[in-house]
Amino acid sequence: MSGSGAPIAGPLDPAPAAPMTGRGAPRLQIRDVRKTFEGKKPVEALAGVSMSLAANEFVSLVGTSGCGKSTLLSIVAGLIDPSGGDVLVDGASIDGPGRDRGVVFQTYTLFPWLTARENVAFALRGEKMSTKARREVADEHLALVGLESFADAQPRQLSGGMKQRVAIARALSYKPSILLMDEPFGALDAQTRLLMQELLTRVWESHRLTVLFVTHDVEEAVYLSDRVFVMTNRPGRLKDEVRIDLPRPRAIEQQEAPEFLELRRRILASIREESLRVEPGIEEEIRA
């Protein structure tokens, strides 16, 4: 099966106007997080990253390959321990993975022997719910991502975009307050990626939760986000913070607007500076 599969329109249409980003105490705090991978030759991946995300805020991390974006996300998810610093959710330090944080990776982390519905319901196995209740929650979240008619399909019967929609439904099923996404659309073709970006904005606008999103795609970051952070080369630090003051709800057509193009240009210039620091002679080689 090719393309994104089932159309995205459905229970999310029309998308409501998103309320203002939450204020008050931060939902997620990252305080002076450092990470060094030990070994014969230790690798310093992160060198003191601090940032705060409000409730209902969408924030993206961009930067050169190997700058520590995914490492930072994995620390926030509780999948790896920092060498120093703290991560707090609603003021409390995290201690490993938790149901307050849903995670979606680039790879399709579905169980191939389970149906789409069963994959979503599997995330609820620790909840005090009946089998019927888990099925109902799974169906509700598959409808949220436009896959209600594919509930009984197995992953091998789904396209890449559809598999990621199941993964998003599963991550949202236990109602986390924070969604962590690591290049979730990186393996998709260009058209499916655009469709998935539209889907994610509509899910976020209707579900309302804090999102930390890692991507190499600057246009994607600008289109989705309230703020975009640019990271330095390894060891990763926060270099720039760019506020995306584009109106919501957003449409793909906004990517052609002058305001959008200027934000894209600014972020690309910041990343380019880091690229030239890694390969200082590359610009001269290209000109030659």
CATH code of the domain covering residue 127: 3.40.50.300
pLDDT tens for 116-144 read: 999 999 999 878 889 999 999 999 999 99
DSSP assigned state of 155: G
Confidence bin at 276 (pLDDT 50/70/90): confident
pLDDT given at position 106:
84
pTM to 2 decimals?
Answer: 0.87
Over 80: is that where the pLDDT of 3 sits? no
- For residue 247, give the nearest of 4, 47, 20, 88 by alpha carbon: 20
pLDDT given at position 279:
62
pLDDT given at position 205:
85
pLDDT given at position 104:
94
Range of the domain at 163: 29-287
Phi, psi of 248 (to 5 degrees): -120, 155
| Overall number of domains in the chain | 1
Calpha distance 238→17 (Å, rounded): 30
Question: Is 4 among the domain residues?
Answer: no
Over 80: is that where the pLDDT of 68 sits? yes
- For residue 274, give the nearest of 230, 244, 214, 243 by alpha carbon: 230
pLDDT tens for 173-188 read: 989 999 999 999 988 8
CA dihedral 68, 69, 75, 77 (to 10 degrees): -160
Confidence bin at 206 (pLDDT 50/70/90): confident
Question: Is 212 among the domain residues?
Answer: yes
Question: Is 9 among the domain residues?
Answer: no
pLDDT given at position 23:
54
pLDDT tens for 207-241 read: 789 999 999 999 999 999 999 999 999 999 999 99
Over 70: is that where the pLDDT of 261 sits? yes
Confidence bin at 54 (pLDDT 50/70/90): very high
Q: What is the CA radius of gyration of the chain?
A: 19
Beta sheet of 238-243, edge-to-edge order: 101-104, 178-182, 210-214, 58-62, 227-231, 238-243
Q: For the chain, list the strands marked E by DSSP.
A: 28-37, 43-53, 58-62, 84-89, 92-93, 101-104, 178-182, 210-214, 227-231, 238-243
Long-range contacts of 240-244 (CB under 8 A, 24+ apart): 240/267, 240/270, 242/266, 242/267
Question: Is 174 among the domain residues?
Answer: yes
Question: Is 15 among the domain residues?
Answer: no
Higher-confidence position of 170 and 16: 170
Higher-confidence position of 22 and 51: 51
Calpha distance 163→77 (Å, rounded): 21
As a whole number, the mean pLDDT across the chain is 87
